[in-house]
Amino acid sequence: MPAIVLIGAQWGDEGKGKATDLLGSRVDYVVKFNGGNNAGHTVVIGSEKYALHLLPSGILTDGVVPVIANGVVVDIEVLFDELEALTARGVDVSNLLVSANAHIITQYHRTVDRVTERFLGKRQIGTTGRGIGPAYADKINRVGIRIQDIFDENILRQKVEGALEQKNHLLVKVYNRRAIGVEEIVSDLLSYAERLRPMVADTGLVLNKALEAGKTVLFEGGQATMLDVDHGTYPFVTSSNATSGGAATGSGVAPNRIERVIAVVKAYTTRVGAGPFPTELFDDSGEYLRSKGFEFGTTTGRPRRTGWYDAPVARYSARVNGVTDFVLTKLDVLTGLTTIPVCVAYEVDGVRVEEVPVSQSDFHHAVPVYEEFPGWSEDITGARTFEDLPKNARDYVLALEALSGSRISAIGVGPGREAIVVRHDLLG
């Protein structure tokens, strides 16, 4: 298999980490192409639980080459902290490659992220506070600092000066904060240079050569379709392209190399942070999903907002990403419910709408139209084939498949690595 993309179909935390880990042993490279340490992927292997933020989940598989590509924003301190924590637990991280073109998150990005959120007041996005938005803003504004810059002290100093000129005015005059000194940033970044040097590579070239040689490359998206800066619920989004197209621009591998697009989708919906969420529940059912699904952010620990499955969102994802396969996760969390509502369309100002409305205000006002499906009470965590699932669970999956615009090739039935039902080979 050539290049495969794995992305989130909803608002994140669908279980992408687990899905990547599932494929890990059959791929040669795992590439993170967007976002930074705003991501939080939990992977459960036996009794061990790993929480990854900046590193791709594939790093947990022996022999895989993990790659942080150009589309990522890298907080170097976090990078080394994560590498050290994994090394201490016996994970081999020596293969990691970091793109020379990836942008760096510095202290001033984190500061600007937090002060802007505070000043937004009620209009807050609820960011992770990791400096993601400000780092991408600098990249687009052409005042970003790239990994390669830390190997040339003069260039680095000039760039940091350029980046801080406007920001210090803003911090001091608007936000009433202290100015950030050029030298403190420069010396902090330079202190990582020698440790970082052996990992830095022209990752676009490495990946293209690997594909030429017939290797399998898995692109692992951070965040998700509805958090994509172009295709998500703007402005309540992250600042990168989390959709499959981002894998090409974020890595330097051309779109026509990509043969498979796997979207991970939860059997219900969750969202962290602010923004529209038509199927959100504010009653006991919402609390049930949160506690049974353990829906608390891996990165910030915030309780996740919860709601029923939204088929128009899944269909939208299928379209935007060119999804070939869905991995449906957390089906086990629904066990015990008498009936399970699924949003099949919306009503906007009294009119039935089948697709995600392009107008943000319409999406804000969209009222879900539900169809109810009968639940099941049998424990499904031991199911390993589709036939092992109770009939009502199979019918629920088949109904979602018919509504969501692509086949459901695998079904998560528990947090562990082995708790999965595979219906179609994801790589074959």
Q: Kindly list the catalytic residues.
A: 13, 41
d(CA 210, CA 178) in angstroms, rounded, equals: 47
Tokens coding 333: 């969390």
Contact pattern from residue 262 through residue 301 relative to ligand IMO, giving x for each residue in contact according to CB under 6 A and a dash for the rest:
----------xx------------------------x---
DSSP single-letter state for residue 178: P
Q: Which of 99, 233, 329, 409 binds ligand GDP (CB under 6 A)?
A: 329
Residue carrying structure tokens 């830390």: 150
Question: Which of positions 171-230 make contact with ligand GDP (CB under 6 A)?
Answer: none
Report in angstroms how near the CB of residue 139 gets to ligand IMO at its nearest.
Answer: 13
Please, which residues have CB within 8 angstroms of residue 215's CB and are 6 or more apart in sequence? 28, 29
Q: Report if residue 40 touches ligand GDP, rule: CB under 6 A.
A: yes
Are 393 and 380 in contact, with CB atoms under 8 Å apart? Answer: yes
Residues in contact with ligand IMO, counted by CB under 6 A, come to a total of 23
Stretch that binds ligand IMO, among 39-47, 192-200, 404-412, 416-424 (CB under 6 A): 39-47
Are 345 and 371 in contact, with CB atoms under 8 Å apart? Answer: no
* Binding-site partner at residue 132 among Mg ion, ligand IMO, ligand GDP, none, CB < 5 to 8 Å by type: ligand IMO
CB-based burial label for 177 (10 Å; 0-12, 13-18, 19+)? middle
Q: Report if residue 42 touches ligand GDP, rule: CB under 6 A.
A: yes
DSSP output for 284-337: HHHHHHHHHTT-B-TTT-PBPEEE-EEHHHHHHHHHHHT-SEEEEE-GGGGTT-
Contact pattern from residue 276 through residue 315 relative to ligand GDP, giving x for each residue in contact according to CB under 6 A and a dash for the rest:
----------------------x-----------------
Report in angstroms how near the CB of residue 181 gets to Mg ion at its nearest.
Answer: 35
Residue nearest to ligand GDP (CB): 412
d(CA 162, CA 166) in angstroms, rounded, equals: 8
Q: Report if residue 40 touches Mg ion, rule: CB under 5 A.
A: yes
Choice between 107 and 298, CB closer to ligand GDP: 298
Choice between 130 and 167, CB closer to ligand IMO: 130
- The tally of CA atoms less than 13 A away on the side-chain side of residue 193 is 14
Question: Which of positions 388-417 make contact with ligand GDP (CB under 6 A)?
Answer: 412-415
* Binding-site partner at residue 156 among ligand GDP, Mg ion, ligand IMO, none, CB < 5 to 8 Å by type: none
